[in-house]
Amino acid sequence: MTELMWRIAGGSGDGIDSTSQNFAKALMRAGLDVFTHRHYPSRIRGGHTYVEVRSDADPVRSRGNGFNFLLALGDSFARNPQEGADTVYGNEEIKPLSENLDDLNEGGVIVYDEGLLDEETLERADLDLEARAQENDWHVYSLDLRGLAREHGREVMRNTAGVGATAALLDMDLQHIEDLMEDAMTGDVLQANLDILERAYDSVREEYEVTHDLRVPTGDHDEQQVLMSGSNAVAYGAIDEGCRFIAGYPMTPWTDVFTILSQHLPKFGGIAEQVEDEIAAASLAVGASHAGVKAMSGSSGGGFALMSEPLGLAEMTETPIVLIEAMRAGPSTGMPTKPEQADLEHILYTSQGDSCRVVFAPANVRECYEQTRAAFRLAYEYQLPAIVVIDQKLSGEMRNVDESFFDREPNADPGSVLTEEEIREAAHHESGKFKRYQHDAENGASPRSIPGQKDGRFLASGNEHTPEGHISESPTNRVAQMDRRMSKLDSIREELDDGEGSHQTHYGPEDADYGLLVWGSQQDTVFEAVDQLTDAGESVKALGVSEMLPYPEQEVTDFLESVESCLVVEMNASAQFRGLTQKELGRFGPKLNSLLKYNGEAFEPYEIVEGFERIVSRDAAIPEGTKFVPAAGD
């Protein structure tokens, strides 16, 4: 109860996301660290949706274990507000209350809108709320938020009434909330919202005796903060690294990155194109890059599958490009708005023939920014595709970051592109064509020319080709070109290993006996689990891996050699990252156990804590909704 874990729940279209973002900003401006987690259905309107906002004076980096304050507005767009449980979807109106009770911590607070969730609705749902509240020491407050909003403005403003009630029950100053409203609204709409906020606040203070101990923590930031998602960070990293072209087609959750870049690129002289499908999107980006512009595209799941052909074309023509793959639960349409990490093998190996690409899997906002920039730099220096893989969780979660973190120099360097003077001195075929694809290029990357440069003429073909680009099926030429292209990965691995920093993140005591291995968006949740295990007396550390291809063999080897046993944590059913690790480092198979989750929900720290106990004691139970897979040969 020393931190606030506030969950607002309602129906899609009820403004749950925007309300939660503003509440998180208010907490951030009050000096707290914040982290948000979104859960929403694959529907435009209606269907249970919620957002958690976790805040504390100390740094917060993941979901907590459950939550301790529920603001349940009900689903005003419910398809079946009157029917019982025997309908296909049940009583949707009540779900923002009923489906959140299991995760509410003991001693928690419930505020629900009795203007929608009246006594008859609760009785029909058979919640037995009073008995459950007594059993779990919940503090329940029913308020007519809907009626209050109607009286002072419009019904849609009941979110504002809910925030006012929240502030009153948490003894929270309204100033930061009011400031945010004034930033976003004007005129009668602003005044109505301010009236509703203050009226709800005053009503709670006047009508209820606060019986709980939960309060808003107090804190202070040393410097200016910004609140942003992984999608924001990817977009800003691309802009700072000189990206000036993006083509895409909307698909959840990739749409966030595409929308942000489409809004901002024109301000920097860039171009954003929404096209008819993902094949066209990736092809346009390849064409723009071929013409000399730093370009990107991306998609999710099935949309990325359509990019297989242009991805292969970029590899064969050695055209640099950055692609974003925002994973969601599959296969096929799957669960479009739920997180999963099951596209890894698809991302590593999709398209024709042997893959020659870089793949980064950032874990948080900071890594999204830095690794997107790294992806552009490597793509354009080594002339190959670079893929940044995120997921629905990382795409939409919001957290505060020091504003100064983004105070970086931009980079418009086009990479290994020759000047016209350098082209004149370079090798040419007797026909006059520039030898764009030389067999013996240093680091595997043969410097390129841009269309329009004098003496830079060459052929760019999806077929295997000679140094100047003519189609060739010569065995000798094929081996030389394949070996050169694949050698880029060795050069990149060497550069990454020799760099000043690492894209992998180590956490916990160096001499720990046990290890946790993780990739992507679950990293910081694993790190919180390490803290909890350490506090409980366990000897454990973690390694978060971001470089999927080329794989960081030495760094992972050193980590695995230092522990007795390791638990690999990931959100898929087939242990894809564990499989990649065993592929690269087969001798460690007997050390690698898996904790898997693939029910559409991200991990909570306690699940990893309990999963870890399984490698210490084979008799330990694992949490519901997860799967434990023992080490090879065990």
- Reported as a single tens digit per residue, the pLDDT across 308-328 is 999 999 999 999 999 999 999
Asked if the model's pLDDT at residue 84 lies above 60, the reply is no
Give yes or no for residue 242 having a pLDDT over 80. yes
Q: Give every strand in the sheet of 245-248, ordered side by side.
A: 271-274, 245-248, 295-299, 321-327, 385-391, 358-360, 547-549
Q: How far apart are CA 613 and CA 633, in angstroms?
A: 19
How far, in Å, are 38, 41, 75, 273 from residue 96 at the CA level? Answer: 13, 12, 7, 38
pLDDT value for 124: 83
Within 8 A by CB and 6+ apart from 123, the residues are none
Residue 347 pLDDT grade (very low, low, confident, very high; cuts 50, 70, 90):
very high
Q: For 17, left (φ over 0), alpha (ψ -120 to 50), or beta?
A: alpha
Q: State residue 99's pLDDT score.
A: 94
Residue 527 pLDDT > 60, yes or no? yes
96-123 pLDDT, tens digit per residue, is 999 999 999 999 999 999 999 988 888 8
Structural contact between residues 276 and 248, judged by C-beta atoms closer than 8 angstroms: no
Of 114-118, 248-252, 272-276, the least confident: 114-118
Judge whether residue 85 has pLDDT over 60: no
Cβ contacts of residue 529 below 8 Å, gap of 6+? 516, 605, 606, 608, 609, 612
Residue % of the chain over a pLDDT of 70: 99
The whole-number pLDDT of residue 86 equals 60
Average pLDDT over residues 132-147: 96
| CA geometry: angle 555, 559, 560, nearest 5 deg | 115
pLDDT digits (tens, 9 = 90+) for 440-484: 998 999 999 999 999 999 999 999 999 999 999 999 999 999 999
In terms of pLDDT, which residue wins out, 253 or 619? 253
Bridge partners of 369? none
> What is the average pLDDT value for the chain, to the nearest integer?
95
- Taking only the tens place, the pLDDT of each residue in 191-215 is 999 999 999 999 999 999 888 999 9
> What is the rounded average pLDDT of the residues 509-518?
97
Res 297 pLDDT > 70: yes
Q: Please state whether the peptide bond connecting residue 331 to the residue before it is cis, i.e. omega within 30 degrees of 0.
A: yes
Stated as kind and residue range, the H or E segment containing 188 is: helix 187-207
Burial of 211 (0-12, 13-18, 19+ CB in 10 A): exposed
Report pLDDT for 501: 86
* Sign of the alpha-carbon torsion through 230, 232, 236, 238: positive
Reported pTM? 0.95
The CA distance from 569 to 347, in Å, is 19
Q: How far apart (Å, rounded) are the C-alpha atoms in residues 530 and 605? A: 9
What DSSP state is assigned to residue 222? S
pLDDT on residue 319: 98
SS3 assignment, position 416: coil
Q: What percent of the chain has pLDDT over 90?
A: 90
Q: What is the pLDDT of residues 148-201, one digit of tens each?
A: 999 988 988 999 999 999 999 999 999 999 999 999 999 999 999 999 999 999
